[in-house]
Structure 1
Amino acid sequence: MSWLNELLWGEGIAHSVMLLAFVIAAGIQLGKIKIFGISLGITFVLFVGILLGQIGFKMNHEVLHFMKEFGLILFVYSVGMQVGPGFFSSFKKGGITLNMLACGIVLLGVATTIILHFVTGVPMATMVGILSGAVTNTPGLGAAQQAYNDVFGTTDNTIALGYAVAYPLGVVGIILSLIVIRYVFRVSFEKENEALNATEGKNTNEAKPISLMVKNPAIFNKSVGEVSALIENRDFVISRISHVNNEVEIPSSTTVLCENDKIFVITTERDAEALRTFIGEEIDMDRKEWIRKDSQFINRRILITKSELNGKRLGTLKLRNLYGVNITRVNRSGVDLVANPNLTLQVGDRVNVVGTESAIESVEKVLGNSMKRLNEPNLLFIFVGIFLGIFLGSIPFVFPGIPQPVKLGLAGGPLIVSILISRFGYKYKLVTYTTMSANLMLREIGITLFLACVGIGAGDGFIDTIVNNGGLSWIGYGFAITTIPLLIIGTIGRYFFKLNYFTLMGLIAGSTTDPPALAYANMTAGNDAPAVGYATVYPLTMFLRVLTAQLLILFFV
């Protein structure tokens, strides 16, 4: 039975893989348990790993180190791929205010951590672990461990222990902060919904369909191309025209507009009023009426799956001239965009095409429309990106006053490269499209491997640390790091910036990258305002959490 003893208690490859599989499976199952409607999710993988490590289960050191670092790389790279497309656009318009407030939460958390470090004497490495747990940010934990290993060539288990101790009350503290702000400012959900509905859509660039009747004598008997040139700074597409004789056609640039012609236009909320003023009055004629009028045409969404179209401008395809069809909207990541000729296409876009059935079938051949192609993962650019990310993360940067060169590390390097590739890759003909399910699978495998390895490695001595080495006080430090920044910035956002409470909930959940808090916010609000606020600040916050965790190690350890 020596084989069984070696399999269960040894340190071989088979034992290591079995132990990881058990820790991950048990952690995921326990993570489904909810207490007062709140679940810790896959973070239970960490606690199961700590428990087994405490009772004596071990892994081969080299295998443990490799699996932990590889899991971290997979996780941060997939996070970067997810947030990259919206990373830079999140700074536009109202997003600037939300992101600046989120930066305030991050920096106040860091300041609180530094103050507690000097007041209590707790080592900074431990405090960074507590900080990461208090704001429920696992990439920050990984970045701190990697930075510590780069500087000292070894690991500090108190980083993971601090994270594990602070995490549960961190989740609770975030939700408690939301509740406190709600009652301090006597928030009325009814009034918040009214305010939200009143402002909804004012600043959107999403596609908006309107029907107009040509009434401006200045454009009578002018072609569509001439009219477009007169208002070239506006985003709009004339989808269909119904002439006074009730004949419906898909317009080309040479189609002539006559008095009382009815046109179906796809534009944006921002430009709709200008088009009403310039072309004529808006008429009460919705999309269903246009469908009845132009029964000879069909409307179909076609998926762009040909890699050679990635990064091309819509106008260069000349689909209207070649096939007599009209592309009115492009759906990207769930958002409808106006299909103007300068719009750059990406693999995975869905284009809304109007035309005859035979013409649309021809366009399908040009664009691809093959779901099978999208289901095939683009592994080449995933591993090219990881290669470049590790290379970038390994470059030492020397800064005055810092004794050790600063590296982005295995967390920061892949994160930055994945953000840049997913945002700008199409400009260099790189197909970076990954289905949401594939990205989620990559991310979950990475984070569970990382948490399991961290837990197993830190488990030995966990109870002794909590009972005899001040671990209980770490819980209080973590709660302070969680709540103080959220209450201060939440008050500033509500009192001075007059943020809608539902948006503020999303801001707070996003600034702590905390899905349970977002789930609570969505359930409480009953609308998507918290999710929008969360998505607006999440990319920058994630980046700052990783960066500040490393800087605290480099400056103060």
Structure 2
Amino acid sequence: MEVLRSLLDEPLILLFVILFLGSWFGSLSIKGLNLGAAGVLLVAMVFGHFGYAISPVIQNFGLSLFIVGIGLQAGPKFFRMLRSSGLIFGILSLLIIIFAVATTILVAKGLDLDPALSVGLMTGALTSTPGLAAALQATHDPLASVGYGIAYPFGVLAVVLFVQLLPRIGKIDLQKDLEETANPIRTAGSPVLTTLEVTNPMLHKSSLSELNFAPYDAVVSRVIRDGHTMIALGDTVLLHGDNLVVVGNETKLEGLTAYVGKPVDTDLENPDNVHLRKVTVDSDEVIGKTLKELRLRKDHGTTVTRITREGIELTQNPNLPLIRGDVLTIVSTEQRLDEVEELFSRKKLTITNLDIFSISVTLLLGVLLGLLPIPIPGLGTIKLGTAGGPLFVALIIGHFGKLGPIHVRYYGPSNHVIRELGLVLFLAGAGTTAGAGIVEVIQTEGVKLIFGGVLITLIPIFAGYFAARKLLKLSVVHSLGGLSGGMTSTPALGALNQLIDSEDPAIAYAAAYPFALILVAIASQLIVFFL
């Protein structure tokens, strides 16, 4: 025992033991649910209770690194969503956070809870580690971690159960409801699929490359002639009576129809030689290039019919530069699709493109911003701190991707490494600090903390869902997907995906999640002024 204690007195040994045990504990799964990185926090609390502590320098470094990773991840989506239909999910996230803040204030006042404990309960109920980081910065009190650790497990479980049980209890046909309710993701300018019969004599015996579909933001994916389906290529010659399967701008559908001929109903079942595939842009060799430059039709015999960016469908535009993460819907034969998928997924031999200079500058600018006092009329001044400063700097840099010598468009795994490494270092430090007083807090406030955590979890869930359905007029699928994102609950999204075969839940989640990340971090700092 003495040997073990002497080993744990070594800071690095203590750190790695906590990370090892915490990651193992967090990976334990019960019916598909696990604590994930929160396992490190709980294990660290145990060590903190026995008097062990991680250096604050390690904790703050981990915090800044984690927050920068979050900002770089959310940056490309956050500002783009503000200019698109995704804003409605941002409003949903805002409402959920407002409900959570109001409930937290009422619970704190009604149960006479410590402010730091109350804010910690809120961040745990919302399963938001960035929120916990902001709370610790604002309160300078490790009790926030105690509240987080108590509310987190129920916060994870409650959203998952709500998503799974609501359709069953309400006997809701999710697919039917999705089809019958206005879809905010597919806006008036979204691409739609239609079939047009060629009756315009000017199109007879003309190749597709000779025709001008650009004014209609449309692309022909297939040509159906005498019941036989062909892949539409540049040298495909059209004949009078051909049926063209077109993906185009809904607002320009009337003009497109007049140009081609007339709309018809036809069987769009794909024959064995025609396939659709979704391909994700992830190769440095194609990023920044346009579809016109890639010459996919001419060189590869394939047609891109749709482009989905950050969950929003864009009108197919041959002059639109591609960015990493774009999802292309491509039509062709199986063999040609394999070739094109290799083109878009091919990477150089490097397994990471992290740039230490860029990360260091981003961290430095963020920490400096966090030190600046910001006056708030009637409330005094507030500092963004080690959490808020790096978050806003990373959001801005992440949005642009490159500012002078700073470039932060990393491969997905690279950004994941930044976030996960920073997160576990932060949780190890926060946990040992909070663990020093956790037993006393639970003994004196245990029942009140659990009751408060349940209220702060359930009220935003039910109120958020009601607002999504009645105020924002969203479908059940979009309401549950947006609720999962607003509560920052990835397990809930997984549960929802098992209930319906559609991309809509993930799109709603992706649209709400960046707003929730930012709003919880802000709310965790501002709420301190009201407690």
TM-score range, shorter chain: 0.7 to 0.9
Q: Does 1:410 align with 2:391?
A: no
2: distance between equivalents of 1:180 and 1:302? Answer: 33
**Alignment partner for residue 462 of structure 2, among 484, 487, 494?**
487
**Alignment partner for residue 433 of structure 1, among 375, 392, 409?**
409
2: distance between equivalents of 1:447 and 1:130? Answer: 19
Code of the aligned partner of 2:154: L
Matched residue, 1:394: 371
**Alignment partner for residue 513 of structure 1, among 488, 491, 506?**
488
Question: 1:372: Cα distance to partner?
Answer: 1.9
Indicate the structure (1 or 2) with the bigger Cα radius of gyration: 1
Code of the aligned partner of 2:157: V
Q: Does 1:40 align with 2:35?
A: yes
1:131 and 1:481 in contact (8 A); partners too: yes
RMSD: 4.5
For residues 182-204 of structure 1, the C-alpha deviation after alignment (integer angstroms, 9 at most, x for no partner) is 58xx52233x2222245698827
Code of the aligned partner of 1:187: G
**Alignment partner for residue 144 of structure 2, among 145, 152, 159?**
159
Question: 1:57: Cα distance to partner?
Answer: 2.5
Question: 1:534: Cα distance to partner?
Answer: 1.8
For residues 234-273 of structure 1, the C-alpha deviation after alignment (integer angstroms, 9 at most, x for no partner) is 32235688999x9999538xx9976456767554566667
Larger relative helix fraction: 1
Matched residue, 2:449: 474
Question: 1:399: Cα distance to partner?
Answer: 2.3
Cα distance change on mapping 1:339 and 1:472 into 2, 3 Å: same
Cα distance change on mapping 1:457 and 1:305 into 2, 3 Å: same
Shifted more, 423-432 versus 499-508: the winner is 423-432
Question: 1:548: Cα distance to partner?
Answer: 0.8
Q: Does 1:235 align with 2:217?
A: yes
1: distance between equivalents of 2:82 and 2:167? Answer: 27
**Alignment partner for residue 260 of structure 2, among 253, 269, 279?**
279
TM-score normalised by length of structure 2: 0.80
Matched residue, 1:345: 322
How many residues are paired up? 520
Cα distance change on mapping 1:228 and 1:412 into 2, 3 Å: farther
Question: 1:78: Cα distance to partner?
Answer: 2.1
2:354 and 2:414 in contact (8 A); partners too: no
**Alignment partner for residue 462 of structure 1, among 428, 438, 452?**
438
Q: Does 1:216 align with 2:212?
A: no
1:319 and 1:326 in contact (8 A); partners too: no
**Alignment partner for residue 447 of structure 1, among 389, 404, 423?**
423
Structure 1 counterpart SS, 2:34: coil
**Alignment partner for residue 126 of structure 2, among 107, 132, 135?**
135
Code of the aligned partner of 2:377: P
Q: Does 1:86 align with 2:67?
A: no
Cα distance change on mapping 1:434 and 1:242 into 2, 3 Å: same
**Alignment partner for residue 521 of structure 2, among 520, 534, 546?**
546
2:232 and 2:303 in contact (8 A); partners too: no
Code of the aligned partner of 1:76: I
Cα distance change on mapping 1:320 and 1:168 into 2, 3 Å: closer
Structure 1 counterpart SS, 2:212: helix
Code of the aligned partner of 1:386: L
2: distance between equivalents of 1:206 and 1:381? Answer: 36
1: distance between equivalents of 2:61 and 2:267? Answer: 58
Question: 1:485: Cα distance to partner?
Answer: 2.4
TM-score normalised by length of structure 1: 0.76
Matched residue, 1:296: none
2: distance between equivalents of 1:222 and 1:364? Answer: 30
1:157 and 1:458 in contact (8 A); partners too: yes
Shifted more, 344-353 versus 97-106: the winner is 344-353
Q: Does 1:174 align with 2:155?
A: no
Q: Does 1:534 align with 2:509?
A: yes
Cα distance change on mapping 1:26 and 1:300 into 2, 3 Å: closer
Structure 2 unaligned blocks of 5 or more: none
**Alignment partner for residue 351 of structure 2, among 375, 383, 388?**
375
For residues 428-447 of structure 1, the C-alpha deviation after alignment (integer angstroms, 9 at most, x for no partner) is 89754333333323222222
Structure 1 counterpart SS, 2:376: coil
1: distance between equivalents of 2:325 and 2:157? Answer: 38
